[in-house]
Structure 1
């Protein structure tokens, strides 16, 4: 068998003192081999001459000779290892930027495959082999290659960081555990690693859940955009249809007005022509009579003049033109046409508001009154649908922070923090009331300022026919009729609060461009009884969608 085939592993050629391949191998009398320099230094530093392997004691310092057989075997091993390293190096790739290089390679640094936490060294495939074959090195802990190995050493004791201090939540070395942290709780790094890894797994699961939730939100937003586009397209089509009809109506009214004026002008012109023709006919008759009279006045025949005088003494019969005139009047034509157009537009507007009211009624909610918020003089029905003002303040009411204590208001139980919201309230036979929505944090105990700045989006009736919107500044409302039932609509995202006269299908008022950041609650105030003139309750009505 050739010598090369006997080279099974590197540990056959390792010095037990330096743990490296033999350099100038020598044999002791007991048959063990060491590097010449290693065994000499070992004996120089000890009082006895003993074998480091078997502990045999030599009473005199043995003479050491180079073991030529081992030396040749080591030389052959080195050559083969060098050839193998050279071959492996040609196959392996040099470490790229960002990759951990081998700490042993000279010249071109190859990519490290593993890092030894005992040696604190990173090895390429070739230089890693002793850790995979040598029995002593196999016990070393290997891990995926890492840089900055000094970060894994205790800066104070220059020992590997092998423990985790649960008290201080930091990595420490074995000396730290008995010196600086001796009363603390410790676990091996691996144990803490497993625990933290499990926590990271939970964190990753939670992150993935959050990611999925946000992906769903993205889909929801995209779907909302699609729905918005569809709604916008429908609204544009409806707008084009409505305004085209209005434009056609205006053009038709204008054409009819112009036609009426032109027809009147044609009638006037024809009448004038007829009058002129009749006048010219009379002028012709008068001229003829004038000629006959002049001729008769010059006659010398007494009998002839007397016989014809009776028929010629008077002018021929003619029409009395004193009151006759041609003065056509166009005044009021435009006004009447505009009035008619306005009536047409009003009918069209009514249709639009009916459609709008029908749309918002789709978002009807079942609102009930919250007794915990009611002013002490307010009387609520058992079903929570009616409220009116009582003359006597209730006693022994719990001191609820939600209750109004100065103004006769009550809120609905239902709140809105997104989407759309609609409800209807009967207000007939009232001389005063307030309706709308408010944010959750409004002042309920002291002085209240009714405006959006302070969280109120409301309208009111005062003195039977004075309607106002509590905006900044307040807006006086002019209504064609007194509402008997008021609809309240809120679009949270749009920042819109609208009020409708349900029976007339007309818009009363809208707050636009609102910024809602809290829950909104319906607000109801029946006001005081006004001497019995306003004792009727406010009634939350079921919503019946308009036909």
Structure 2
């Protein structure tokens, strides 16, 4: 032990001297010495225990001994000088020190000598710090290559555990026990030393082991994330390919639709031109007939005017006999005239011809429209078929995996049903529209018809359709209303004289009152906060999952969900427009219609527009 301490003291003194002169030595060594000068020509490595033979060449003692072994005559491997007697091999101590110093300089040079920002400095270097090569967990000190030599040569120091250099070592030492924080406490998520008693009952593992384990987990999660990225990239590619096909289908549909429309317009213009031609021809015939009749009438008028003049002259004859003879002469020579009371322009024939032409145009337009309708269906068949397939397929989508913004859109597209009110389940307090899509509360309260399926004392009504399986969704518009009830109830509640709306009694309902109070009528009512009163409310039911969810459709946000619902029987949508509140809450509840095929709806609107344009043309022409 004393010998070890003495060795360390002497070694430290030598290291200090070496450190003070190492930079100068480095400069001179790098300029004057080369590595080739310190290489053994036999092993081609730096000399180890170099010896000099009589010819002056140097070799490793072990190398030259092996070279001369079992040889009768010894000679130099370099110059081939022969020696009569095998030379005695002694280590050249001076040259050995030079070689060892060169080794240190080379090690230092290879380790970049001076410490750089972010690197661990040697704790034993004075003045200029060298980069640490190892950290000793027993000495709790970091060493450069020069100061690490004792740990490689002294037996007791060789047992110390060396690790890669550790930065900020003082932060990784237990201040209480002055030991390395080698353990990791999983309970407190912190580093501890082996002597920290407050963590003995906790789950502790070696820090390095925890590090390796977490590193493996990190790689696993990274692989999972990369897999998810690849899946999403594949999905993006699929979507882009689908959209490319859809664009192609759209272009074809547009091109074919324009062709059909142009053909329809040409046909319509042709039939309209025929009608106008008929009208024009009839007008010309009527004008020719009128001209002939006017000429004849003008001739008769001239003759009658002459007769009037002659009669006027006779009226001035004073001789009675002469007057009588003149009158008889005029009476016998009266001009020939027609009875014009029954003569007129052939208007009836004109009207009949025009009516016939219009009927013919209408029939042609009907045929052309039907043909165009069929051609439009063919043109847009792919798009319409896609929409039809999407609605009929009704795949069971895992809604929980969808992003919130996409979830409601998917529900609306796949599960919307066409819902109407069932007036037979309501008393006379409620007023319904003819299509049973609108309901409001009457200002007058009376109870005449008390059927067995009616809510006799409440402003409640059920939906027409009931459900005992699957998923369904409908929307209710509640604009300008200050109160309402919406939800679903069991079939057995129909006609109940009393109703306590909560899941225990078979009702899953949310309620708005006074325009500000929104509650979920759970077994214990839940007050629901909102920044803006919902105007369009979507109700979604998953019968098998026992789920009833309410959505603010305009904001695309979830209002509330009843989970683990025990339906046990057929369920019906439930509605109440609420009390009228002296007319303040008099606006109706409206059921939104189920959306039809977008393409077909646009096609129907387009055909209606065509009929409207044609009708306007005909009206203007008649005027």
TM-score between both structures, scaled by the size of structure 1: 0.44
Query: More helix by proportion, 1 or 2?
Result: 2
